[in-house]
Amino acid sequence: MYQPELETLPREKLRALQEERLRHVVAYVYERVPFYRRLLDEAGVRPGEIRGLMDLPKLPFTKKDHLRQNYPFGLFAVPREEVARIHASSGTTGKPTVVGYTKKDLGIFAEVVARSLRAAGARPGMMLHNAYGYGLFTGGLGLHGGAEALGMTVVPVSGGMTERQVMLIQDFRPEVISCTPSYAQTLAEEFRRRGVSPETLSLEYAVLGAEPWTEAIRKQVDEGLGVRSTNIYGLSEIIGPGVANECVEERQGSHIWEDHFLPEVVDPDTGEPLPEGKVGVLVLTTLTKEAMPLLRYWTGDLTFLTYAPCSCGRTHVRMGPILGRTDDMLIIRGVNVYPTQVEAVLLDIPEVEPYYQIVVRREGTLDEAELKVEVSEAFFQEIGKKALSDEVIEADHRLHALREKVARRIKDTIGVTMRVTLLAPGEAPRSEGGKLRRVLDLRK
Ligand code: ADP
Ligand code: K
Ligand code: ZN
């Protein structure tokens, strides 16, 4: 273990630590963040009333919309100059959700990722091939900092360029790889295509997360790369990857680093706390963050908790796999995408209407997204076609150019590649009173 004393803290001591930290963080945000002062005042909660975990349900939830409403720095609890780093993830309006870290927060981020890597099997001196994206996304820099803290040799390869990744893995001989599960599948497939057998690869462990995955994928990756893979979970609002990680011994649920992040599972409809083992929304309270602590953050991720002791010796609670989400967020190759983000892009292009559908398929190991969108009535008249088909579009440079333009704008603003299909006016699905299904996720 990276921090054996903390990771095996007896539960009653862990609870006392959590309660002390909870009292502190509630008072801290009440004093420093006007948003929280208002939120608690409106809920009629005085910080002093929150004495222990029993009082947690009195606190209102913090939701993603609150972060958007306070874009970019409104939830910071410290002066901007004390923020050492900023990260961000997608948001519905095209504005990202912004998060900040003090120096101390970055230390905690590295600490929980180091614990996670160690739980995943990594040890000091091993080499990490880090294929998470670097940038505003927390994956790349998050794993990087944790690996350095653990004392690993980090290869900051980032995402993409599979040919080069395959070469580097063979030449550098890393023991550990971190990436999305779908990318691990891609790499496994590429090795197979090249006739490289998993036994000849140096890899022993894979740390996979940022998108939902299954035991079937685990089996493919384990066999294809010759590794034991574990799940890493996290979200930028709470810190990034490293909120929880499976232990490589059991691989039966991910230990949530509870001395820093306080978990609850609540009913998606009523918000009532649910008993252990029941599936509901994971809600997390940060206990130690300085720059942007969040109280009862509604992750939207559906899972369950188990407090059963684990053979690895860690006492921290385990969460099950993410079984789904309560909102309409799609995760395409690890990137969070909201339909409304796509809509915002379409509203900016006069030749198309915001009548659209997003179809996501799993082709081979990768997510493939198709965007079906209607051209405007005016544009359709101007083109003078009776109907639109792939052949018609290929043959007409104006249609062809429009299709490229939509694809490029989507890629540039949201960061995902979508195959664009142009529809004639009236062809996209319309709501018939009920909830319009703008997203067709055919991956499950
Ligand atoms: P991350 O860097 O972890 O992808 P984001 O803030 O971009 O952070 O996205 C967070 C969301 O990604 C989570 O709320 C969850 O829906 C999804 N996610 C992250 N890790 C996992 C995982 N291991 N399994 C399933 N979903 C995950
Ligand atoms: K994600
Ligand atoms: Zn364990």
Structure ipTM: 0.97
Q: Which two tokens stand for residue 175?
A: 């023991």
Task: Tell me the CA end-to-end span of the chain in Å, nearest whole number.
Answer: 35
In the structure, how many helices (H) and strands (E) does the chain have? 13, 21
CA distances, 380 to each of 181, 403, 409 (Å): 42, 13, 20
Do residues 268 and 280 touch, judged by C-beta distance below 8 A?
Answer: yes
Centre of ligand 2 from the C-alpha of residue 141, in Å: 14
Q: Which of 187, 231, 183, 182 has its CA nearest to residue 205?
A: 231
Please state the domain extents for the chain: 4-327, 335-441
Cβ of 212 less than 6 Å from ligand 1: yes
Structure token pair of residue 148: 């350095």
Ligand number, closest to the Cα atom of 299: 1
Ligand 1 contact, 139 CB (< 6 A): yes
Report pLDDT for 433. Answer: 56
User: What pLDDT score was predicted for residue 435?
Assistant: 56
Distance in Å, CA 234 to ligand 1 centroid: 5
Q: Is 320 in the pocket of ligand 1 (CB under 6 A)?
A: no
Question: Is 241 near ligand 1, meaning CB less than 6 Å away?
Answer: yes
* Secondary element (H or E) of residue 241: strand 240-246
Q: Which residues of 338-366 are buried (b: 16+ CB within 10 A; e: fewer)?
A: bbebbbbbbeebebbbbbbbbbbeeeebe
Ligand nearest to the CA of 247: 3
CB 142 within 8 A of CB 241: yes
Which amino acid makes up residue 358? I
Q: Measure the CA–CA gap between 136 and 270, rounded to whole angstroms.
A: 34
Q: What is the CATH number of domain 335-441?
A: 3.30.300.30
Q: Is 245 in the pocket of ligand 1 (CB under 6 A)?
A: no
CATH fold group of domain 4-327: Rossmann fold (3.40.50)
Q: 267: which 2 tokens?
A: 């009913």
The finding on whether 301 has its CB within 6 A of some atom of ligand 1 is yes
Distances in Å between the Cα of 284 and the Cα atoms of 27, 232, 234, 326 are 17, 16, 11, 15
Give the position, in ligand 1's atom list, of the atom nearest the Cα of 212: 25
Query: Is the CB of residue 231 below 6 angstroms from any atom belonging to ligand 1?
Result: yes
Cβ(283)–Cβ(276) under 8 Å?
Answer: no
Q: Nearest-5° angle of CA 219, CA 197, CA 172?
A: 100
Q: How far is the CA of 312 from the centre of ligand 2 (A)?
A: 28
Backbone angles phi, psi at 344, to 5 degrees: -60, -40
- What is the C-alpha separation between 340 and 352, in angstroms, rounded? 15
Q: Whose CA is nearest to atom 18 of ligand 1?
A: 210
Ligand 1 atom 10 nearest Cα: 235
Selection from 19, 27, 25, 33 nearest residue 48 by Cα:
27
How much of the chain, in percent, has pLDDT values that exceed 70? 98
pLDDT digits (tens, 9 = 90+) for 203-255: 999 999 998 898 988 999 999 999 999 999 999 999 999 999 999 999 999 99
Q: Which stretches of the chain score pLDDT less than 70? A: 90-94, 431-436
Give the number of C-alpha atoms closer than 13 A to the C-alpha of residue 211, restricted to the C-beta side: 22
What does the pLDDT read at residue 67?
95
Query: Alpha carbon 238 to chain centroid distance?
Result: 11
Amino acid letter for position 321: P
CA of 417 to the centre of ligand 2 (A): 16
> In Å, how far are 137, 167, 440 from 88, measured between CA atoms?
6, 31, 27
Taking the C-alpha atoms of residue 223 and residue 207, their distance in angstroms, rounded to an integer, is 15
Dist. CA 426 → ligand 2 center (Å)? 33
For residue 443, the CA-to-ligand 2 centroid distance in Å is 16
380 CB less than 6 Å from ligand 1? no
Ligand 1 geometric centre to CA of 377 (Å): 39
Which residue lies with its CA nearest to atom 4 of ligand 1?
210
